[in-house]
Amino acid sequence: MQLVVDHHREDKESQYGSGKPSEYEYNSTDLALKYKDSDLSLIFGVQGFDGERQQAASQYNAENKTTKANLAGFVLGQYKFGSSLVSAGARHEKVDYKYNDGTSVLKDDHKLTAWDVGFNQQFTQELSGFINLNQAYQAPDIDRFFKNELDSFWAYDKTIFNGFIDPAKTKTLNLGLNHLTEANKLKVTAFYTKLTDEIYYYSAPSPNDKNTNIDKSYKYGLEIQDQWQITEQLSTNLNYAWVIAKIDKEDEGAGAYNGKDLPGVSEHNVSLSLDYAITEKSTVMLTQVWRSKAYAANDFENNFSQKQQAYNLTNLGYSHKLEQVTLFAKVDNIFDKGNGIWISDNNIYPVNFTRTWQLGARLDF
């Protein structure tokens, strides 16, 4: 039997445009009781979270405070019999929101339930298969209740309360195979996800733009993960995902988004890394990330002239470990590719758009 207690506090400040900064305070506490024997393992736990966003008054808005309080209980169990493994778990959570700007107090709350059931079968010493069905949710963070309004010259004007939005809910079926050897670890998973109230930003002309929910949507695809120890010194790690994301139904846009591809989702995603151990303490790392074209972030009708261009990033790094210090040097985007996020035609946010260099040290104690 094992008892685990963890508490975390985070304070931060964020400012957009010429508005007053917002101050955040997050407190989270996790309590878990773990039990394990040769065939059975159980985890019981409670998680609590209190978050606060405080925005000072300015010429644009009154002082306001928004809070989010979560309290959840969960249980997870696994039982092994012969060459089979069964797992099941559940989580129930109560979420309370409150917004107060001195003249009005708005409240919202949700009771949310998630569960997971899975089965794993060992066919041979190297090959196993699994199936998993789960229901999950995502309660929106506080910032989703706000939006930044622009003036007629597209400059920042003010930050206003967007309104409460609903948590996103999903049901997912996973079906896959694992093939494990001393030198190679391969995992292939096919999945289908049905979503209700997926959270997104509706980018209609201000003041109609807002954070809101897609009524119904779905995703399906295939994921491949492979770790290969090619030689004693050289290893590689490959991750590939083929994803199709569709909007079933959405009231915004008067039905024009129904049946369209979800913007910003690349169909093909590849991440490849090569690690070469020069010595026991020094390693060279080469990584490549590539994502295929997609519809621009605001293109919910899939009819813009410009698409999100393919993302291409190559990084090279070196690390050397001393007694308690690890020294590292890294060059990101070594081929100086001009990556960006396409919002709409000729409206692009630069991301990893130039070569950058990093030198540093990490202390372990």
Does the CA dihedral 341-224-186-176 come out positive or negative? Answer: positive
What confidence score (pLDDT) does residue 155 get?
Answer: 61
CATH of the domain at 198: 2.40.170.20
What confidence score (pLDDT) does residue 152 get?
Answer: 63
Stretches in the chain below the pLDDT threshold 50: none
Residue 225 within any structural domain of the chain = yes
The whole-angstrom separation of Cα 140 and Cα 162 is: 12
Residues in the chain: 365
Residue 133 within any structural domain of the chain = yes
What confidence score (pLDDT) does residue 198 get?
Answer: 94
What confidence score (pLDDT) does residue 206 get?
Answer: 63
What are the tokens at 60? 């644009």
Q: What is the CA radius of gyration of the chain?
A: 24
Q: Provide the 3-class DSSP secondary structure of residue 142.
A: helix
Residue 183 within any structural domain of the chain = yes
What confidence score (pLDDT) does residue 363 get?
Answer: 85
Residue 270 within any structural domain of the chain = yes
* Number of independent structural domains in the chain: 1
The per-residue pLDDT for range 300-322, each reduced to its tens digit, is 999 999 999 999 999 999 999 98
What confidence score (pLDDT) does residue 210 get?
Answer: 83
What confidence score (pLDDT) does residue 59 get?
Answer: 67
Residue 83 within any structural domain of the chain = yes
DSSP letter for 58, please.
-
Domain that holds residue 72: 65-363
Residue 244 within any structural domain of the chain = yes
Residue 17 within any structural domain of the chain = no
The whole-angstrom separation of Cα 110 and Cα 197 is: 14
What confidence score (pLDDT) does residue 18 get?
Answer: 58
Residue 38 identity (one-letter amino acid): S
The per-residue pLDDT for range 220-231, each reduced to its tens digit, is 999 999 999 999
Residues 6+ away with beta carbon under 8 Å from 284: 275, 276, 278, 316, 317, 318
Residue 57 within any structural domain of the chain = no
- Spatial contact of 167 and 112, defined as CB atoms under 8 Å apart: yes
The whole-angstrom separation of Cα 118 and Cα 76 is: 11
Strand partners, 25: 11, 52
Whether this model's pTM surpasses 0.75: yes
What are the tokens at 302? 């899939």
Max CA distance (Å), the chain: 69
